[in-house]
Amino acid sequence: MVKTLLFDMGGIVFIQDTAEAFRRFTEIGVDAHQFIGDFGQKGIFLDLESDRISDEQFRAAVSRLVGRELTWQEVQNCWLGFLKSVPSDRLEHLLQLRKKYRICLASNTNPFIMAYTRSDRFSGDGHGIGHYFDRLYCCYEMGICKPDKAFFTKILESEGIRPEETLFIDDSKKNIAAAESTGIKGLWVPSNQDWLPALLSVLPE
């Protein structure tokens, strides 16, 4: 019986717009295609999300890359291009699910995005993302990114939960495969689409 639900963030909790993020990075002089691809992030982008460098070190590195000093807010604005909108019905789904299950975020993200999502601007009605989850597991705070199997084993250990009683919802098939390799149940859903019908179809009545 499933007791804990793990949710990805981009494309699941919020509508993701990768093209807009790339456009914003291009505006400041960064070709994000060099750092973000079909097989994940690399270079300083991966270093940021795996906690090898801090947000300030990332800002400084990007500044050197473009040849001018960028503010923290300028860099954050680029990252926030990924966040197109936050559907209120998805947030309500999470609150309803919390009445029956333990709900955790399991996200590859970074301090720039999380500074916004943790703020009261996130929901549109004064709530940060923490209002909707029992625990937030962010790769840069864990020091490891999906699809590394250790990302999921760390969550299992921290939560003290059994993998067979855990369900992970993500729009990345490679992340689902990594979770399933630990014994966690996986549910792949298409990016930016409502996941509730698919989730309810695999949960007990």
Spans of all domains in the chain: 4-15+86-202, 18-81
This prediction's pTM: 0.95
Average pLDDT, the chain: 96
Nearest-angstrom CA–CA distance, 205 and 94: 17
**Cβ contacts of residue 43 below 8 Å, gap of 6+?**
34, 35
Backbone torsions φ then ψ of 152, nearest 5 degrees: -80, -35
Say if residues 30 and 62 touch (Cβ distance below 8 Å).
Answer: yes
Say if residues 134 and 102 touch (Cβ distance below 8 Å).
Answer: yes
Q: Which two tokens stand for residue 200?
A: 């309810």
Place of tokens 């923490």: 130
pLDDT class for 204, splitting at 50, 70, 90?
A: confident
State whether CATH 3.40.50.1000 applies to domain 4-15+86-202.
Answer: yes
Residue 119: CA count within 13 A, CB half-sphere: 7
pLDDT class for 15, splitting at 50, 70, 90?
A: very high
Average confidence (pLDDT) over 192-201: 96
Nearest-angstrom CA–CA distance, 28 and 138: 26
DSSP annotation of 6 reads E
pLDDT at 110: 97
Each residue of 20-63: pLDDT tens digit? Answer: 999 999 999 999 988 986 556 889 999 999 999 999 999 999 99
Catalytic residues: 8
pLDDT at 38: 59
Nearest-angstrom CA–CA distance, 147 and 99: 29
Query: For 18-81, CATH number?
Result: 1.10.150.240
Average confidence (pLDDT) over 161-167: 97
Backbone torsions φ then ψ of 16, nearest 5 degrees: -100, 140
Average confidence (pLDDT) over 128-143: 98
Place of tokens 């019986």: 1
Average confidence (pLDDT) over 175-198: 97
Q: What is the CA radius of gyration of the chain?
A: 17
pLDDT at 39: 54
